[in-house]
Amino acid sequence: MKLYFAPNSRAVRTAWLLNELGLEYELARFESIADRAMRTAEYKAVNPNARVPVLEDGDVRITESTAIAQYLVARYGDGRLAPDVASPDFPVYLQWLHYGEGMIMGPMSNYVVETILLPPERRSEEHARRSLKLMTRVLQAVDHHMKDREYLVGDFTAADTITGHACMMSERMGADFAELPNLKAYVARIQERPALEKAQAL
């Protein structure tokens, strides 16, 4: 298996999950998401969007982090890191597996664009404020869900590697967790997992 990876990116999710599953993988590492090697024709042939992560497994190539997580658990999980399809937890698992990319990352990306990526003269305070407000609102739903829970669905699952990672990145990018105590505790909890620490050190 080969993982196209850059530090501090969504590719950490995939490395984290591979580590949790104890799977061997080869790393194609970019220095950062600004690495010019990500913009080459050679890499665009791998991922036309020139983004990470990409997972290759034999003839399989997947370029969406949540789809990669779903694939890895279905093919290599052997009953681990996801509830059984027949379990009442399964739809809950799907909901939280997809929530990170579906609900959190949009407003977070907009916020990062308006506060970090654009040159100061092109930034809009109003857009930044609106993105932050929306990001906080969708994080409140996770905070509410996390009351009296350790992980998103029962024991640790692949959903934590996606939505947990999105929550962790939201905090790092400036979302205010002061009013989100359950979420704050959850993010602290997942950051103690050795498989995540290992992925963040790549």
Ligand X SMILES: N[C@@H](CCC(=O)N[C@@H](CS)C(=O)NCC(=O)O)C(=O)O
Residues in contact with ligand X by CB under 6 A are 9-10, 33, 50-53, 64-66, 101
Kindly state the smallest distance separating residue 178's Cβ from ligand X, in Å. 26
In the complex with ligand X, the residue whose CB is nearer, 9 or 19, is 9
Kindly state the smallest distance separating residue 188's Cβ from ligand X, in Å. 22
In the complex with ligand X, the residue whose CB is nearer, 112 or 185, is 112
Structure tokens at 173: 């990018």
Residue showing the smallest CB distance to ligand X in the complex: 51
Q: Is 174 left (phi over 0), alpha (psi -120 to 50) or beta?
A: left
Kindly state the smallest distance separating residue 144's Cβ from ligand X, in Å. 24
Helix (H, G, I), strand (E, B) or coil at 57: strand
In the complex with ligand X, the residue whose CB is nearer, 77 or 102, is 102
Q: Work out the angle at residue 165's Cα, subtended by the Cα atoms of residues 176 and 198, and round it to the nearest 5 degrees.
A: 125
Q: How far apart are CA 12 and CA 84, in angstroms?
A: 25
In the complex with ligand X, the residue whose CB is nearer, 66 or 161, is 66
Kindly state the smallest distance separating residue 130's Cβ from ligand X, in Å. 21
Q: Is 90 exposed, middle or buried (0-12, 13-18, 19+ CB in 10 A)?
A: middle
**Rg for the chain, CA atoms, rounded:** 17
